Amino acid sequence: MASLSTRTRISDHGRRTRAAVTVAGTAMVALGVSVAGASASSPHSSSPPGTAMSGHITWWSSPISVGNLDLRTAWIKAFEKQYPKIKVTLEAAPTNTDTNRSTLETQISGGAGPDVFMGDVIWPAQFAAHGLAVPLSKYLPKSYFAGFAPGLVAGATYKGQVYGAPLFEDQGFLYYRKDLLRKDHLKVPTTWAQLASEAKTIVKKGQTKEGYVFQGADYEGATCNFMEYFADAGGSVLNSKGTGLAPSFKAAATKALGQEVAFIKSGVSPKAESTYQEANAMNDFQNGTAAFMRNWDYGYSTANSTGSKVIGKVGVAPLPSFKGGAGYSNIGGWNMYINPHSKNIAADLTFIKWLTGKQGQLIESTGHFSEIPTLSAVRNMAKVKNGNAVLKIVPKTKLVPRPAQTPKYASVSQAIYQNVSAALAGTKSVSAAVSSMASGISSALGGNSL
């Protein structure tokens, strides 16, 4: 998911019913993500080294906060109460996902790093291919993975082994000022053109300074945003084998990026969009200076938390589309991984199983927090669904993953977000940015551009 600043992120959060998750699985196949062997693990899992009920764990995690409350510390407090002989030391990771990933890669490849780490859902192929994460399915039975919502384990799988334990899910949503739409007799937009028109109306009346804010900075979040327009335009990044660009790439990329740039040129979005990450968009929206916002599922709870100027005034809906109706939401979220250099994998697994179990999942999805739980049993609980307006929207969304089935994903994404940000900044035309994007992706994959 993108940056985890202000709570996230990536980023991704989101939720979905079985039907909506089926869409996600279908989208993965369409983008060349193999779901075969998603729950692969031997019938009799190996015994992990270490002691399961005692020891010390260092946990690397970016901030996950709502106001002054930090989900990480809430988790640790509850876990240590249940397992008093296991001590968890929290190590603060960078909020920028790209910096986070590169730092971990350097540490682990050098034989160091934390015992367990929270990482993006797009990391399995990259980390597995370079021996930077333990295959969890070597130690955990199929029954453990069977409890997660469909599609999540598939995304954490590489060459038949599961490397990440799904911790929470993200997806993109449209947040809007329901009080202003009501006042101006406007409907919740279902097309990008309608969103632009309504945003202009609200700004022209002086009700907000900005119309629509999203994430367009030179970082992973820009890839997440781009993928939503791109999928809506009918595009696939990689071919079915994941070895090169899909034939539909350039046409869809041109339409997608053209829409993002149009928001800025028309004054609907701020000129500084090329520098916006989640926190920038969130700050504008909760301060009442933006009418519409694209952000992850934490946006609703944050906009209604202490200090926000729009408490009780926020609506949430699926992102719009070009033709009308629900558009696409990028699949984000975070998994738990184990460092191959950990000396007590047994205790690491105890911690991970607790975080991804019923107690840990209820803490993240109820009360002050609003993460989307990954366990099917928890996400379907009435107190979870009724406690957050976002959960009620999930069944209406269509999901699209990023092209992370290749170990070269970091370079693929970089080719996307650098050119998206350049186009938004006006330093490249849409056509030049798309050509550069295609060339960069092809080069990363070891092939030639279209």
Q: Which domains does the chain have, with CATH numbers?
A: 5-171+331-397 (3.40.190.10), 173-329 (3.40.190.10)
Q: What is the pLDDT of residue 443?
A: 96
Position 19 pLDDT exceeds 80: no
> Higher confidence at residue 107 or residue 5?
107
Q: What value does the mean pLDDT take over residues 317-345?
A: 96
pTM across the whole model: 0.77
Q: What value does the mean pLDDT take over residues 171-182?
A: 97
The mean pLDDT of the chain is 88
Q: What value does the mean pLDDT take over residues 25-47?
A: 44
> Higher confidence at residue 241 or residue 136?
136
Give the per-residue SS3 of the chain.
CCCCHHHCCCCCECCCCHHHHHHHHHHHHHCCCCCCCCCCCCCCCCCCCCCCCCEEEEEEECCCEECCEEHHHHHHHHHHHHCCCEEEEEEECCCCHHHHHHHHHHHHHCCCCCCEEEEECCCHHHHHHCCCCCCHHHCCCHHHHCCECCCHHHHCEECCEECCEEEEEEECEEEEEHHHHHHCCCCCCCEHHHHHHHHHHHHHCCCCCEEEECCCCCCHHHHHHHHHHHHHCCCCCECCCCCCECCCHHHHHHHHHHHHHHHHHCCCCCHHHHHCCHHHHHHHHHCCCEEEEEECCHHHHHHCCCCCCCCCCEEEECCCECCCCCCEEEEEEEEEEECCCCCCHHHHHHHHHHHCCHHHHHHHHCCCCCCEECEHHHHCCHHHHCCCHHHHHHHHCEEECCCCCCCCHHHHHHHHHHHHHHHHHCCCCHHHHHHHHHHHHHHHHCCCCC
Tens digits of per-residue pLDDT, 256-303?
999 999 999 999 999 999 999 999 999 999 999 999 999 998 899 899
Q: What value does the mean pLDDT take over residues 310-321?
A: 97
Q: What is the pLDDT of residue 298?
A: 86
Position 42 pLDDT exceeds 70: no
Q: What is the pLDDT of residue 301?
A: 85
Q: What value does the mean pLDDT take over residues 311-334?
A: 95
Q: What is the pLDDT of residue 4?
A: 47
